[in-house]
Amino acid sequence: MTSPMTAGTSADSVTQSADEPLLRVRDLRISVGDIPLVRGVSLDVRAGEIVSVVGESGSGKSLTSLAVLGLLPPELATNGTVEFRGENVTTMNSRRLRQFRASAARMIFQDPGSAMNPVLTIGFQVIESIRAAQRCSRAEAREQALAMIRRVGIAEPQRCLSAYPRELSGGMLQRVVIAMALAVDPPLLICDEPTTALDVTTQAQVLDLIRALTSDMGTGVILTTHDMAIAADYSDRIVVMYAGQVVEHGPTRATLATPQHPYLWSLLNAHPDSGEREPFTPLTILDGAPPRPDVEIPGCRFAPRCPFRQERCSVETPVLRPLATAPERSAACLVSASQEAAS
């Protein structure tokens, strides 16, 4: 049900039906030489929803995000499709990619400082970012910048525009980065660990802000995090990655209430007091470590760490399958699939 593209049509202007995904990633594979780093990721993002992508460090979250924006470093090879409103991002030419990143798909990184040029004022950078996406005068772009800076809760927007990045705290700077990303009303926002560099109170404020603004604007959001509490509190759907693969995905609440994949189960059960713990505890709790990308493991890649593994888990490779009882959810586990079939 891909929306057809007509020659020369900007993908940004292609109309879609409401339930059609804005972003459709299918069987995305990323490798360096013959080492697979991302092993066949598929995910959808619809307008107005927040999709969290969770997994331990090295699971492939950032590479997946970068591939969506056509920002992978040249040494990495990509296979599979990344479609934004029906247009394949992996085959866009560099001019179209620049336009796509300026107006349609914006990204917020972990460290807000790295997103800003230290020697240029915030005003200059926000205004230029708006003008890269839209035809408008500097005065119009400045008005838009002021309105957006005000909208992200900065009390003195004029003063903020005249300031240099170093004059702002990390939390304020992340608000500026959010303003810069959302000023052009992009359909898609990718937030890669957007609050990891911030203190806990500021984390919650920034995440609340992202949720409120994107919900108002109908933006589709990918939120990568290694923090289950953030995924639980802020996403509509969750995609769980392990060692370069999606092992489970579905609506967040139902998926976390009855996890099917032992990896997700282990993450959730490693914090039996999770209701009372401090929010935003990183995932550093499973015994052992994920396999290195260059290590091939027969069968299921999680089997060596799995508390429920059976003999066949080291022989057969599980594939991501919809649950019989909840087809909007999927998991890649031989044991849970056979338990579901038997019940």
- CA of 252: how far to CAs of 137, 159, 264, in Å? 43, 40, 12
- Is the distance from CB of 24 to CB of 83 less than 8 angstroms? yes
**58 near ligand ATP, judged by CB under 6 A:** yes
What number of other Cβ atoms are within 10 A of residue 251's Cβ? 16
Among 5, 14, 20, 32, binds ligand ATP (CB under 6 A): 32
Q: Looking at beta carbons only, is 75 or 311 nearer to ligand ATP? A: 75
Among 175, 226, 249, 329, binds ligand ATP (CB under 6 A): 226
Collapsing DSSP to helix, strand or coil, 233 comes out as helix
Among 36, 45, 47, 62, binds ligand ATP (CB under 6 A): 62
DSSP state for residue 119 in the 8-state scheme: T
What number of other Cβ atoms are within 10 A of residue 4's Cβ? 7
Output the smallest distance, CB 275 to ligand ATP, in A: 25
- Side chain identity at residue 14, one-letter code: V
Region of 19-27, 53-61, 92-100, 311-319 interacting with ligand ATP (CB under 6 A): 53-61
**194 near ligand ATP, judged by CB under 6 A:** no
Q: Looking at beta carbons only, is 68 or 184 nearer to ligand ATP? A: 68
Angle, helices 170-182 vs 138-151, to 10°: value is: 130
**36 near ligand ATP, judged by CB under 6 A:** no
Phi and psi, residue 44, nearest 5°: -120, 150
**293 near ligand ATP, judged by CB under 6 A:** yes
Output the smallest distance, CB 274 to ligand ATP, in A: 20
Collapsing DSSP to helix, strand or coil, 161 comes out as helix
Q: Looking at beta carbons only, is 56 or 87 nearer to ligand ATP? A: 56
Q: Which residues bind ligand ATP (CB under 6 A)?
A: 32, 37, 55, 57-63, 73, 75-76, 226, 293
